[in-house]
Structure formats: structure tokens, C-alpha cells
């Protein structure tokens, strides 16, 4: 009886945004056209940028592998958004959670440089998870206690986490080798996540795909998932049915933050090899938009994260060849999103 | 703790608070009409970059402020189209607007990195009668009067009544012969103008440079200040002053070579915002417009 009621409350499993292929193609073309016009106004050459991007990304395996590198952290930060979204929470703090994960993982790498990789890497992954989890738990507690809305608290904490990282790399962890550029000392080899076949594609990609699979499994196939969807459907009624809503809020936020934290761990361990201040060019925010566009569906997140990797390569190319700041790519993302948002009725 | 320290902190509180106050008022007028705009950060960035660019080109800081206001209005109207006409989710559209502002401001500001602009000139008497502190510019003098004007507009005019009705229950506004859509567009236009002026004050009076992402989350702090101010423009004045004060205090302490790391000091405004929301936010939730965040689908 109770089970039936929980079932009745539960929101449908995945509500992927219905965007048929021709329409999606039209959206992409329209966005690229609008962005091209904006670039033309700024006196840049959009067609050359698009052409260069295509050559770079699909012209050889290395360029293509960089897409996978770029989408890896986004997969993880998107799960960090999708999971809390199932119970109606809006986690916009992936960026800060990523930084805290990278920070705590670095603490592990610097504290135990003598450990073998098979011990050190799992420890760093755990620490990365813990760093992100703590950072998301704080908004979770405030929300569960009905004190502060999690949207605004996660947003604010995004600005605090990079300051903690900066404090450490300018202070206690400052490398003596590089006097001019503040960064932590380089990690020992045992603290570096392995990469594949001469590219920068690393084990973090597997973390991302496994997280997505687990997320999908938990939501679809377990009692937890059912109860979470019930809370997402109607939190008050779920509480009346005896579902521990507060505990779900805390657990969901902690796990979500932890997953974003693993993205930070993977970035410092595999890509940077040390803690740096510009750890992420907004992967946390991108993850939010990717999860949102994908309607929180696991498969949708993979597709959207890949598309965003392509979009961000346009930014890379523009920066390298035409002296346009990388962040201009946000304009292209925004145009795409505005068009999609406008269609979703 | 000399008097000059206190005076410097006080002056800088007003200077930092000015930018926050304009931004807070900009968000507030939109929220009164029932629209949460998480893109305020983007609007401020557009204002800061467009204002700086226009001042550099025309050599006139006032034209810079005007250009900022127009650019902010235009961007907010784009947001308005998406959330009012297309009825998109306001939170997602707001974050998209933040991205839009991030990218657009980087593009606008790029040619003017390192440019020298005429800053907003000081007007009237020197602050607190101390010559070394300089003079407040026009935007500082106008900030509090604008808040009072906005209060009058919201609480003492027929337009304001319609605006508040739209924020509480659009069907009531509709039934009284007003158009909730038009009112929301008007509120967003005004809000975009004010928010962008807040950004322009940063680049044209405080920093006198353009730097990517220079607003550093002030847009989000301003959104929190709206809650703190209980959606009342008059309360926004002390709210902005308190936060301007937090920023001024940490800057002055840094300037005087305090032993505490500047990175830890820079956290203070964000943590203070969170702390105040903890003590203030939820209790006063009832002050929020009832239809905040909801689209208007018309009436049968």
C-alpha cells in the first residue's frame, strides 16, 4: 500500500528534453550563425574559426582525444547537478566543489609522496570526494534546516573555494621551483592518474562514465531512487509517508558534491600534475547547463557534454588564432541555451 | 585605529556599497514583478565592459554610464523574451544570461584592456571634510535618492501597484486591466539599466580598468541582498552599506599590511552574505512576492 503511494508520487524516470534531430540541427546552425555575426561585429573571422575548429577536432586523433579530455570533468559536474535535481534541489555549486576536491586531493598527494600509486591514487580519489562532499554538505545542511535556499548558497560558495586554493598555493604549498607563477610543488609520478596511448585522455573519463551508470541505476532500479523521485514529486507528501526527506537532502548533496570533487581530483592529478589557481574554466557551471539540457538523463548528459566539448574547442581555437579571450565561448553557449530554452514549450 | 583609518573605511564602504546598491535595486524591481534574475552578474559585467569601452572611445565617463545602462537594458530584455514570452525556466535562463554576460563582456572589453579612461569625476565637497579622501562622484550621490525614488515608484504609484500585483498574483493584475507581460518587461528594462550602472561604477569609478570577470560574484551577493532588504528599496541602502563596509574593511586592512592572507580576507563578503542569509533569509521568506519564479500562462 505504502509502496503504491510512493510510486504514485514518484516523478517519471527521465524527462529528456524532446528535441528531434532536425530541430537540434537547426538550433546548432542558428546558434553558430548568431555567434558568427557577433564575432564579425567584433572584427573577427568566424568562418575561419569554425573551419580551424573542424580541422583541429576531427582532423586527427589527438584533436579528437582533447574533446574527451574536455568532457571528462563536465560529465562528473553534470552528475553532481542531476542527482540533487531528482529531489528538487538545485546545485549550482559544482565549480566550488570541484576546486575543493582538487584541493583536498592535493593535500593527500603532498602528504604521502612515498606511497605507491595503487594506494595513493585511491586515497586521493577519496579525499577529492570528501573535499567536494563537505563543500556541498554545507548548503545541504542549511537547506535541510530550512535556513537558506541551496541555489544561492551553492553559488556563493563557488567564489570562496578558489580563494582557499589560492591561499594554499600562494602560502603553505607554494612551490619553491617556480618563483614567478604560484602553484603547488609537482606531484610525484605515483600521484598521477594514468593517461591512455600518448593522449591526455585519463582515467577520470572512466570515473565519469561509471558515475553516470551508477546514477542511472540508482534512480531507475533501487528503492533509494524511487524514494528520491517521490521527494522530487512532492516532498511534503513523501515526508508524511515516512520518507526521511532531510536525510535524503544531506546524503544527496554530499554524494553530488563528492562526484564534482572527483572531477577536481582528476584535473590536478591527471592534467595539471599540481594544484594551480585556474583549475577549471567553469566546468562546474557547464555541468549545470549540460545536466539541465539533458533533462538529467544519463545518456543525454554524455551527448550534451560531448557537444559542449566541441563548442569549447571553438573557444580554444579563437584564443590561439585570433586573440579572442577564451571566455567569449560562453557567448556561444549562451546563444545555444537561449534558443533551446525558447523552444521548450 | 586612527581616525583616518575609520574615515577611509567609511568612505570606501560608500564607494563599494554604491555599485552593490544599484545592482540590488535592479534585481529588486524585477523580483517585485515575480522574476528571479540569476543573470545579474552577467548584466553587471556587460555594464562594466560597455561603460568602460564607451568612456574610452568618447572620452566621456557619463556617456560610458549611459552606454552601460542601455547595454544592460538590452541584455535584460533578451532575458525577458526568453522567460516572459517563451516562458522558460527562470533559473536556467538566468544562469544562461550570466554566461551571456561573461562572454559578451570579454568580447566588448578585449580591445580596451589597459586603456586609460577618464573616471567619473568627484563632485561637491571633499568627503568628511578630509581632502585626501577625495570626492564622491555623481553615481554615489544619486544612489540613495534612486532608492527612495524606486520606493515611491513601487509603493506610491499606480504602476507600482500593478507591478506588485504581478509579483504576487499575475491573474489579479490581469483582472484589473493590466498586462503582466508588459509590466514584467518594464521591470526588467529598469532592472537591467540599474544593474549595468552598478557594473559601470566598478569599472569607471572604483577600478578604472576593465578586467574579465571583475565583478567577482557581486551580482550574486546583490541577489542575496534583495532577501536581506526584504524586497524593499529603502532597506537596500543599509544592506548595501553593510556589505560595502565588509569589502572596504578588508581592503583597508590589506592596504595596511595585516598579517592575514589577502585571500582569506577576500572571502569575508561571501561568507558574511551566507551568514546573514542564515539568520535573516528564511524567517523573512514571507516577504517574497508570492509568484516569484513562476511564468504567467494567462487566464481562461
Taking alpha carbons only, the member of A308, A313, A30, A146 closest to residue B282 is A146
Length of chain B: 300
- Between CA A204 and CA A210 the distance in angstroms is 10
Which cell is A266 given? 582528476
Binned at pLDDT 50, 70 and 90, residue B2 comes out as low
| Per-residue pLDDT tens digits for B34-67 | 999 999 999 999 999 999 999 999 989 999 999 9
- Asked if the C-beta of A37 comes within 8 angstroms of chain B's C-beta atoms, the answer is no
> What would the pLDDT profile of B18-27 be if each residue is shown by its tens digit?
999 999 999 9
CB contact under 8 A, A153 and B277: yes
Whole-angstrom Cα distance, residue A90 to residue A93? Answer: 9
Q: Given this model, what pLDDT does residue A266 score?
A: 95
Task: Give the residue from A136, A325, A329, A335 with the most B CB atoms within 10 Å of its CB, the best one to mutate.
Answer: A325
For chain A, residues with pLDDT lower than 50 are none
Residues 87..146 of B with a Cβ closer than 8 Å to A: which? 87-89, 91-93, 95-100, 102-104, 106-107, 110
pTM of the model: 0.89
pLDDT of residue A49: 85
Specify the higher pLDDT residue, B201 or B119: B201
Query: Which is nearest to B11 in space by CA: B186, B158, B130, B104?
Result: B130
Question: Across residues B134-155, what is the average pLDDT?
Answer: 88
Q: Rounded distance, CA A253 to CA B221, Å?
A: 22
Show the DSSP H helices in B110-232 as ranges. 138-156, 158-168, 170-175, 180-201, 218-228
d(CA B177, CA B162): 9
Q: Is B74 on the interface with A (CB under 8 A)?
A: no
| Domains delineated in chain B | 3-120+139-287 (1.10.3470)
pLDDT for B53 equals 94
Q: Helix, strand or coil for residue B122? A: strand
Q: What is the DSSP letter of B137?
A: B
- A183 sits in the region (left: phi over 0; alpha: psi -120 to 50; else beta) called beta
CATH of the domain at A222: 1.10.3470
Given CB atoms, is A19 within the 8 Å cutoff of chain B? no
Residue B23 pLDDT: 95
Nearest CA among A335, A295, A309, A330 for reference residue A27: A335
| ipTM of the prediction | 0.88
**C-beta atoms of B96 and A289 within 8 A:** yes
Q: What is the pLDDT of residue A122?
A: 94
- pLDDT-derived band at B286 (thresholds 50, 70, 90) equals low
* Residue of A43, A44, A96, A148 to mutate, testing the B interface (most B Cβ within 10 Å of its Cβ): A148
pLDDT at B101 over 70: yes
Contact A327, B103 (CB under 8 A): yes
Hey, are the CB atoms on B99 and A337 less than 8 Å from each other?
Answer: yes
Q: How many residues comprise chain A?
A: 345
Which residues in chain A (257-286) have CB-CB distances under 8 A to chain B?
285
Of A148, A163, A341, the CB nearest to B93: A341
What gap in Å lies between CA A288 and CA B244, rounded to an integer?
A: 30
- B276 contact A CB<8A: no
Cβ burial B101-120 (10 Å sphere, 16+ → b, else e): bbbbbbbbbbebeeeebebb
Q: Which residues pair with A195 in a beta bridge?
A: A202
Cell 530541430 locates to A23
Is A257 in contact with A135 (CB distance < 8 Å)? yes
A299 found inside a domain: yes
The whole-angstrom distance between B275's CA and the closest CA on chain A is 9
What is the maximum span of chain A, computed from C-alpha positions, in angstroms? 68
Mean pLDDT of chain B: 86
Residues of A in contact with B267 (CB under 8 A): 160, 163-164
Q: Do B89 and A155 touch (CB under 8 A)?
A: no
Q: What is the pLDDT of residue B133?
A: 57
Of chain A residues 81-120, which have a CB less than 8 A from chain B? 90, 92
Residue A202 within a domain: yes
Contact A230, A243 (CB under 8 A): yes
Q: How many domains does chain A have?
A: 1
How distant, in Å, are the alpha carbons of A344, B80, B82, B169, B295 from that of B299? 21, 20, 20, 11, 12
A2 within domain boundaries: no
CA-nearest residue to A325 within chain B is B106
Q: Would you tell me how many other CB atoms lie within 10 Å of the CB of residue B294?
A: 16
Q: B263 and A146 in contact by Cβ < 8 A?
A: no
Range of the domain at A266: 20-343
Average pLDDT over residues B215-237: 90
Contact in structure between B242 and B22 (CB atoms under 8 Å): no
Rounded distance between C-alpha atoms, residue A40 and residue A28, angstroms: 18
Question: What is the number of CB-based contacts under 8 A between chain A and chain B?
Answer: 136
Alpha-helical segments (H) within A10-93:
21-41, 46-59, 61-85
Do the domain assignments include residue A187?
A: yes
- For residue B220, give the nearest of A39, A155, A325 by CB distance: A155
State pLDDT tens for residues A217-229: 999 999 998 889 9
CB A80 within 8 A of CB A285: no
Summarised one tens digit per residue, pLDDT across range B73-92 is 999 999 999 999 998 888 88
pLDDT band at B291; cut points 50, 70, 90 = confident
Please count the CA atoms within 13 angstroms of the CA of A44 that sit on its side-chain side. 26
Residue A252 domain-assigned? yes
B213: pLDDT confidence band, cut at 50, 70 and 90? confident
B132 pLDDT above the threshold of 60: no
CB atoms within 10 A of CB A175: 15
Amino acid at each position: 500500500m505504502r509502496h503504491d503511494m510512493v510510486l504514485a508520487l514518484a516523478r517519471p524516470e527521465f524527462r529528456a528534453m524532446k528535441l528531434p534531430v532536425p530541430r537540434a540541427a537547426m538550433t546548432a546552425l542558428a546558434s553558430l550563425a548568431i555567434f558568427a555575426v557577433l564575432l564579425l561585429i567584433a572584427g573577427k573571422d568566424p568562418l575561419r574559426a569554425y573551419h580551424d575548429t573542424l580541422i583541429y577536432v576531427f582532423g586527427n586523433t589527438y584533436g579528437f582525444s582533447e574533446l574527451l579530455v574536455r568532457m571528462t570533468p563536465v560529465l562528473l559536474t553534470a552528475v553532481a547537478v542531476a542527482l540533487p535535481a531528482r529531489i528538487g534541489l538545485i546545485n549550482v555549486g559544482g565549480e566550488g566543489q570541484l576546486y575543493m576536491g582538487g584541493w583536498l586531493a592535493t593535500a593527500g598527494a603532498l602528504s604521502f609522496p612515498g606511497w605507491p600509486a595503487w594506494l595513493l591514487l585511491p586515497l586521493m580519489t577519496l579525499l577529492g570526494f570528501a573535499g567536494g562532499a563537505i563543500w556541498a554538505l554545507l548548503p545541504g545542511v542549511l537547506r535541510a534546516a530550512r535556513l537558506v535556499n541551496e541555489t544561492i548558497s551553492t553559488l556563493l560558495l563557488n567564489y570562496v573555494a578558489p580563494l582557499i586554493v589560492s591561499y594554499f598555493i600562494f602560502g603553505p604549498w607554494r612551490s619553491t621551483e617556480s618563483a614567478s607563477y604560484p602553484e603547488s610543488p609537482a606531484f610525484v609520478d605515483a600521484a598521477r592518474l594514468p593517461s591512455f596511448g600518448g593522449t591526455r585522455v585519463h582515467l577520470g573519463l572512466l570515473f565519469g562514465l561509471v558515475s553516470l551508470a551508477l546514477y542511472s541505476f540508482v534512480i531507475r532500479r533501487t528503492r533509494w531512487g524511487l524514494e528520491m523521485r517521490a521527494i522530487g514529486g512532492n516532498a511534503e507528501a513523501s515526508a508524511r509517508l515516512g520518507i526521511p526527506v532531510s536525510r535524503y537532502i544531506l546524503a544527496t548533496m554530499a554524494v553530488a558534491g563528492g562526484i564534482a570533487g572527483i572531477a577536481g581530483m582528476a584535473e590536478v592529478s591527471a592534467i595539471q600534475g599540481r594544484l594551480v589557481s585556474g583549475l577549471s574554466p567553469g566546468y562546474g557551471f557547464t555541468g549545470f547547463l549540460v545536466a539541465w539540457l539533458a533533462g538529467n538523463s544519463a545518456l543525454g548528459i554524455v551527448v550534451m557534454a560531448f557537444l559542449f566539448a566541441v563548442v569549447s574547442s571553438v573557444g580554444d581555437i579563437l584564443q590561439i588564432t585570433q586573440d579572442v579571450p577564451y571566455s567569449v565561448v560562453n557567448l556561444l553557449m549562451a546563444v545555444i541555451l537561449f534558443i533551446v530554452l525558447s523552444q521548450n514549450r | 585605529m586612527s581616525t583616518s583609518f575609520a574615515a577611509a573605511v567609511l568612505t570606501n564602504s560608500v564607494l563599494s556599497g554604491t555599485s552593490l546598491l544599484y545592482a540590488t535595486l535592479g534585481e529588486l524591481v524585477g523580483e517585485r514583478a515575480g522574476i528571479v534574475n540569476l543573470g545579474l552578474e552577467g548584466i553587471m559585467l556587460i555594464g562594466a565592459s560597455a561603460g568602460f569601452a564607451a568612456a574610452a572611445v568618447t572620452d566621456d565617463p557619463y556617456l560610458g554610464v549611459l552606454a552601460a545602462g542601455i547595454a544592460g537594458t538590452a541584455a535584460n530584455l533578451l532575458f525577458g523574451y526568453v522567460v516572459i514570452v517563451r516562458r522558460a525556466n527562470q533559473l536556467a535562463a538566468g544562469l544562461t544570461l550570466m554566461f551571456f554576460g561573461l562572454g559578451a563582456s570579454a568580447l566588448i572589453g578585449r580591445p580596451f584592456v589597459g586603456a586609460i579612461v577618464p573616471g567619473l569625476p568627484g563632485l561637491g565637497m571633499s568627503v568628511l571634510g578630509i581632502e585626501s579622501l577625495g570626492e564622491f562622484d555623481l553615481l554615489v550621490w544619486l544612489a540613495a535618492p534612486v532608492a527612495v525614488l524606486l520606493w515611491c515608484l513601487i509603493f506610491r504609484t499606480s504602476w507600482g501597484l500593478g507591478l506588485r500585483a504581478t509579483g504576487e498574483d499575475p491573474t489579479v493584475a490581469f483582472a484589473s486591466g493590466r498586462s503582466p507581460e508588459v509590466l514584467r518587461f518594464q521591470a526588467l528594462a529598469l532592472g537591467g539599466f540599474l544593474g549595468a550602472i552598478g557594473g559601470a561604477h566598478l569599472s569607471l569609478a572604483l577600478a578604472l580598468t576593465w578586467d574579465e570577470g571583475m565583478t567577482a560574484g557581486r551580482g550574486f551577493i546583490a541577489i542575496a541582498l534583495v532577501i536581506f532588504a526584504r524586497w524593499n528599496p529603502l532597506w537596500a541602502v543599509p544592506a548595501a552599506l553593510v556589505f560595502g563596509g565588509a569589502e572596504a574593511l578588508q581592503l583597508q586592512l590589506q592596504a595596511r599590511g595585516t598579517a592575514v592572507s589577502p585571500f582569506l580576507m577576500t572571502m569575508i563578503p561571501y561568507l558574511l552574505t551566507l551568514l546573514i542569509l542564515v539568520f535573516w533569509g528564511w524567517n523573512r521568506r514571507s516577504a517574497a512576492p508570492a509568484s516569484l519564479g513562476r511564468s504567467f500562462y494567462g487566464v481562461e
